[in-house]
Structure formats: C-alpha cells, structure tokens
Amino acid sequence: MMKTLGMGASHRLNVTNINRYVRMGRIGNYALGYKEDGIFYVCYVGRSDTDLNVRLKEHIDENSDYEYFKFKYAETVADAYMTECRNFHDFPNENNKNHPAKPEDYVGKCPVCSE
Ligand SMILES: [Zn+2]
C-alpha cells in the first residue's frame, strides 16, 4: 500500500504562505521537506495541539531541508496524535528521533505500534 500523508498541496515555508494558507488557532498536523522534480520529500512530521500557524513559523530557517510544508487540520488533539503517529511510522527520517508524545490526559495508544 502506498504511504500517504493525507495532506494537501505543498507551499514554500515562509510567513506569507503560513498566514495565507493556515488559519490561526487551529490544531493539526504538518510535514516539512524539500522538492525535487516536483516530488515532495518528507524530512520532518509534527503536530500542534494549540496552534498550527504559530508552530509552523517556529520551523522557518531551522533546517535547510525544510523548504516546503504541507498540513492538515485536526478536530481533536486525539485525532492529531493518531495522525502524527501514522506519519511518524510511515515516513521515518533522521529529524524525527522520538516517538510522538501523547497529548495531555490522553490514555489511548499509538495506532501503529501500540506504544
Ligand atoms: Zn507508534
């Protein structure tokens, strides 16, 4: 089965694009990476349980491979956590060293490895 982030189009990672595409105060998931021949290569996956717009801005100029971003809103922090787990296991990379942390008060398990 082909692995997919389930996210929309990629945008260059800068303040203008983040404000243009990502509504403030929404939670959700994102991926950072670079593009070659139109293909997006994942270099990092993450989530924000508070504000995706703010979180993405923290990654600007953090790593030269973080040229583009994709994102997806989540309705709940539990949904964001489960999506991040799937992304983490589907797109292993050197920048995501640790398994995604559970949201506060979340008692469920990772849907992939049951950690
Ligand atoms: Zn896991």
- Span 50-74, pLDDT tens digits: 999 999 999 999 999 999 999 999 9
Q: How many angstroms is it from 99 CA to the middle of ligand 1?
A: 6
CA dist 70 and 98 (Å) reads 21
Question: Are 93 and 37 a contacting pair, CB within 8 Å?
Answer: no
Q: How many angstroms is it from 98 CA to the middle of ligand 1?
A: 10
If pLDDT is split at 50, 70 and 90, which confidence band does 115 have?
confident
Q: How many angstroms is it from 37 CA to the middle of ligand 1?
A: 31
Q: How many angstroms is it from 12 CA to the middle of ligand 1?
A: 29
Q: How many angstroms is it from 115 CA to the middle of ligand 1?
A: 5
Q: How many angstroms is it from 58 CA to the middle of ligand 1?
A: 25
Q: How many angstroms is it from 95 CA to the middle of ligand 1?
A: 16
Question: Are 29 and 47 a contacting pair, CB within 8 Å?
Answer: yes
Size of the chain, expressed as the number of residues it contains: 115
DSSP 24: T
Cα 97 to Cα 44, 45, 69, 88, 92: the distances in Å are 10, 11, 19, 10, 9
Could you report the per-residue pLDDT of 85-109, keeping only the tens digit for each?
999 999 999 999 999 999 988 999 9
Q: How many angstroms is it from 100 CA to the middle of ligand 1?
A: 7
Quote the pTM value. 0.95
